[in-house]
Amino acid sequence: MKVIVAEGAGFCFGVKRALKMAFEAARKGDGTVVTLGAIIHNPQVVARLEREGLRVVKNLDEVEGGTLVVRSHGLPRGVLAEAEAKGMEIVDATCPFVKQAQERAAQLEREGHAVVVVGEKDHPEVLSITGSLEGIATVVDGTAKLPELPEAKRYGVVCQTTQPQEHLSAVVLDLLSKSREIKVFNTICEATFERQESALQTAREVDLMLVVGGRNSANTRRLWELCRDAGCDAYHIETADELEPEWFEKKHQVGITGGASTPQWIVDDVVAAVERI
């Protein structure tokens, strides 16, 4: 059985940067360093960080002062203001690509466009983008019909950085029938685009695809959906412990990829376990 690891599997630039900042803050801190929600959608990495002294909290009511590490997904402006009002030190590890999506959305709003964000309504990154606006944006996921949209002569569109290109295209196409003026910023990040392309290419070459990453990781789930929709048998796993030997019966080529928040050591573990099987 041949094992192929897709190019670009594992941590992206934004996640590496956020983790470096989080580990540094945790080591310097005195137990008062927190993130709002997990720093990345990978339970194994979050557990390591907790051992270093970084605590995950659900909301700022749970803390008084200390340091807030803003995760790569960013935070709405209101939450940052709340942390500042509590006198917290802020270590901003928002990925520069997410920051750019926030700034583009704010620019569209200033220019008088009704802002549409293509993405998952409750995803923290989308909340950070909509939370960077004065008003309200419409969030659409690109797979369903557009919801009832506000009256607007001009629409402005940005996209969650980890969405597939087709979702953005579908929304823009739909909007074309509703407005004569649409301004689009394609804010899908290159790392996501390249990872999805290489996962798809690998899925087309193999009989079985293993997509490694946190179950709560939207970009890992998206990779799994892409592989599955390409007609390949595909499983989304978090660690090598979940592998079932029967998945590999009569399979000759196995592809492996990992989400942006999947550490290399977990991908390596899966490769080693598959080779043993």
Residue numbers annotated as active site: 125
Name the minimum Å distance from CB 10 to ligand SF4.
11
Q: Using DSSP, state whether 45 is helix, strand or coil.
A: helix
Could you tell me the strand order of the sheet in which 54-57 lies?
Answer: 54-57, 33-36, 67-70, 89-92
Q: Mark the segment that binds ligand SF4 (CB under 6 A) among 53-61, 115-123, 189-197, 239-247.
A: 189-197
Backbone phi, psi, residue 164, to 5°: -70, 150
From the CB of 261, what's the least distance to ligand SF4, in Å? Answer: 8
> Is 259:214 a contact under the CB 8 Å cutoff?
yes
79: enclosing H helix or E strand: helix 77-85
Between 39 and 189, CB nearer to ligand SF4 = 189
Residues 7 and 4: their CA atoms lie apart, in Å, by 9
What is the Cβ-side half-sphere exposure of residue 276, based on CA atoms within 13 angstroms?
A: 11
Is residue 17 packed enough to be buried (19+ CB in 10 Å), middle (13-18) or exposed (0-12)?
Answer: middle
Selected from 42, 138, 162, 217, the binder of ligand SF4 by CB under 6 A is: 162
Window 13 to 42, contacts with ligand SF4 (CB under 6 A): 13-15
Nearer to ligand SF4, 97 or 155 (CB): 97
Q: Classify strands 154-159 and 233-237 as parallel, antiparallel or unpaired.
A: unpaired
Interface region with ligand SF4, contact rule CB under 6 A, candidates 46-54, 63-71, 91-99, 138-146: 91-99
CA dihedral 175, 176, 182, 188 (to 10 degrees): 60
Kindly determine how many residues on this chain lie close enough to bind ligand SF4 according to the rule CB under 6 A: 14
Contact flag: residue 69 with ligand SF4 (CB under 6 A): no
Instruction: Indicate the residue among 63 and 191 with the shorter CB distance to ligand SF4.
Output: 191
Q: Which is nearer to ligand SF4, 125 or 238 (CB)?
A: 125
Q: Contact positions toward ligand SF4, by CB under 6 A?
A: 12-15, 72, 95, 97-98, 161-162, 189, 191-192, 260
